[in-house]
Amino acid sequence: MTLIFGQRPTAKGSAALRALAAGSVGNFVEWYEFGVYGYFATVVAARFFTPAGGGEAQALVRTYASFALAFFFRPVGAAVFGRLGDRIGRRPVLILVIVLMTGATTLIGVLPTYATAGALAPWLLTLLRVVQGLSAGGEFGGAVAVMTEFAPPGRRGLYGAWQSFTVALGLLAGAGMAAVLGCLLTEAQLGDWGWRVPFLLTLPMGLAALRLRLRLDETPAFVREAAAVRPPPREVAGAIALGAGRVMGWAAAGYTFLVVLPSYLQSTLNASFQQALLATALANLGFAATILPAGALSDRIGRRPVMLTGALLVVVLALPLLNLLQDTATSHAVKGAALFGAGAVVGLMAGPGPAMLAELFPTNVRHTGLGLAYALSNAVFSGCAGLIITETVERTGNVDIPGYYAAGTCAVSVLALAGTPKRNTPERKAS
């Protein structure tokens, strides 16, 4: 850890590293589950939604509707838990949200399917997705606030990047688990009980995260500034809107390439389950590879140029990438390299993104503000990605829709980032 952060483990440094671990582990659990749900979308559709009527495509749309619903509860969670975090502290809120997230995810693993519980089954699944959405809404703001408020001077970009890095690790863990089960189990076993295993494994992960958070100290910035005068609501709302615009492309392109892709490859390009998971693993590896370097680079040259580079690359490359995947004449090696590169350019936005959001808000509204900016953008452009892409491809027959979606949203982020200062709020002014 000393080599990574360039500091000796002093008492202050140890507190910072504990905060980094406590914040990161919750993100890992959260995104492991969201990845698993995305990777097993076709299996979940068959067990919970297909018996309600309609074909496989309609069942997948219903599954993604449940996926999107959880995201639309994220802003509610960000507002409720963010306000608590700005009033009573980051630590108690982070403890509460990891308990809710772990409990809801574990319960999904024991839910009765439609064949057993009838129409009640999809409603129970949706209810647990709502609880996950509420807790996830409070998770991001609290975790990023803790990481950046404990960060040493000049390291906020790197510390904040660990939030995104553990997202990548969580998605990779979910993909790895899905791949292992896909190899070890038959299709019948996977559909019968195998899909439950990844959700049940959340319980020991969540307990480990809870233990770390129980040992977490409150951030010095919150202790020092919680009672300070709060900025006017209009000013906070403007910062939230700006932040949502800046991360829109990160949210949409990230979910398009890292989560929705497996189901798209299976339902649209007739790839096997194993091929789809391998493709997604490569994209996630590319994503993970650039996040920490991008965060560290943003500490040197600013958040804006690094994020702008990533957004512009998605605008230019999203459609050609998709065409490569569609072309049966393209070699597997070239397709793999393209997928790795797609994930890497998203990592350029995800690395500096958390610190950029944190620097938009003063300490006493930071948990609420950055959480809402992120949650609103993700609710619309991440949570709806699978629903929009699957439904639009089904209705139009245009298999290029994912490329247009990723490029269009990143174009908006380019505009939101283009007019910002070279560096956001100076570190000496943002705790």
Neighbours of 264 (CB within 10 A): 25
Residue 251 tokens, joined:
């949210």
pLDDT of residue 426: 42
Taking each continuous run of H as one helix and of E as one strand, the counts in the chain are 22, 0
Who contacts 136 (Cβ-Cβ below 8 Å, separation ≥6)? 30, 34, 70, 74, 77, 97, 101, 375
Rounded CA separation 104/113 (Å) = 16
Query: pLDDT per residue over 147-206, tens digit each?
Result: 999 998 899 999 999 999 998 898 888 878 888 888 898 888 888 899 899 999 999 999
Nearest Cα residue to 386 out of 63, 123, 74, 164: 63
Indicate the CATH number for domain 2-418.
1.20.1250.20
Residue 20 tokens, joined:
């980094």
Nearest Cα residue to 301 out of 415, 396, 424: 424
Cα angle 298, 304, 307; round to 5: 80
pLDDT of residue 50: 65
pLDDT of residue 35: 76
* 241 burial level (CB within 10 Å; 0-12, 13-18, 19+): middle
Rounded CA separation 346/413 (Å) = 12
Rounded CA separation 250/351 (Å) = 10
Query: pLDDT per residue over 385-424, tens digit each?
Result: 777 887 888 888 888 899 999 999 999 999 999 875 544 4
Under-50 pLDDT residues of the chain: 1-9, 52-53, 422-431
Domain range summary for the chain, segments of one domain joined by +: 2-418
Instruction: Assess contact for 85 and 93: CB atoms under 8 A.
Output: yes
Who contacts 207 (Cβ-Cβ below 8 Å, separation ≥6)? 102
pLDDT of residue 117: 87
Instruction: Assess contact for 376 and 317: CB atoms under 8 A.
Output: no
Nearest Cα residue to 349 out of 300, 401, 287: 287
pLDDT of residue 419: 73
Residue 27 tokens, joined:
């993100």
pLDDT of residue 332: 80
